[in-house]
Amino acid sequence: MSKAFQLEITNDLLDAIRTAYQDFKTHGYINDESTSLGSTIFENETDFLYKEFCKLGYDGNEFICYGHYYPNHGAVYWICDSRFMSYEESRKLTDMLIEKNI
């Protein structure tokens, strides 16, 4: 089965992944709006992102991408490190960030 989305790996993408990894390492959480990765990476390429984070030193569990549609904002996708944050905690954080428009 062919994928509808074909990821183009560029230096800009790899730089964005390195930056996102630093945020993830610090906070145990990133979302598609707090990074320059965009929702497509979160929705379709979570395995790729996990492998790239592992190359950078991540040694935690595989990612699960969560998402929620906010009526006045749109969809937001995020990943969190389950060693430090539960789904419920990550959802509350996302709700707060959207409410504050961060």
Domain with 77, as residue range(s), is: 11-99
73 inside domain: yes
85 inside domain: yes
4 inside domain: no
Give the global pTM. 0.86
Residue 62: pLDDT band (50, 70, 90) is confident
Whether the predicted pLDDT of 13 surpasses 70: yes
Decide: 79 and 63 in contact? Cβ < 8 Å. yes
DSSP 8-state secondary structure symbol assigned to residue 60: S
52 inside domain: yes
User: What are the pLDDT digits (tens) for 23-34?
Assistant: 999 999 999 999
Alpha carbons 56 and 18: distance in angstroms, whole number: 8
65 inside domain: yes
Q: Number of structural domains, the chain?
A: 1
